[in-house]
Amino acid sequence: MKKIIYIAHPIGGDVPGNLEKIGAIYRSLSLQKLVIPFAPYIAPISCLDDNVPQERAIGFEHNKALFDRKAMDEVWLYGDRISNGMAQEIEWANRMGIPVVSMSEGTRGC
């Protein structure tokens, strides 16, 4: 059975550019057919305003529910840094015993 891999990546700052990078990661992992990539935050970030604290909180609430249900087998970290949102995802994963794997130089040491 293939592992379900949660793609953790910074979004804030250059939202369109970061969503494009996440899409490329998703595509690459999908085409390799070794794992099932999972980026459930794409729908909320596309429909809610990340700059409005109440709407950002809704997106985080939805994501936390997925972590609480252990909807993924591992969390893979991508990007040039660990964003505040990623730090929260790492904390949730650690609390639930979900392995966290650094996949890029900017996320090493986490």
The reported pTM is 0.92
The domain segmentation of the chain, as residue ranges, is 7-93
| Residue 86 to residue 83: CA distance in whole angstroms | 5
Under a CB-based contact definition with an 8 Å cutoff, are residues 83 and 49 in contact? no
Return per-residue pLDDT of the chain as tens, 110 residues. 899 999 999 988 888 999 999 999 999 999 999 999 999 999 888 888 878 889 888 989 999 999 999 999 999 999 999 999 999 999 999 999 999 999 998 898 76
Question: For position 49, what pLDDT does the model report?
Answer: 83
* Rama region for 13: left / alpha / beta (φ>0; ψ in -120 to 50; rest): left
Instruction: Tell me the DSSP string of 55-68.
Output: HHHHHHHHHHHHHH
Residues 6+ apart with CB under 8 A from 80: 10, 104, 105, 106
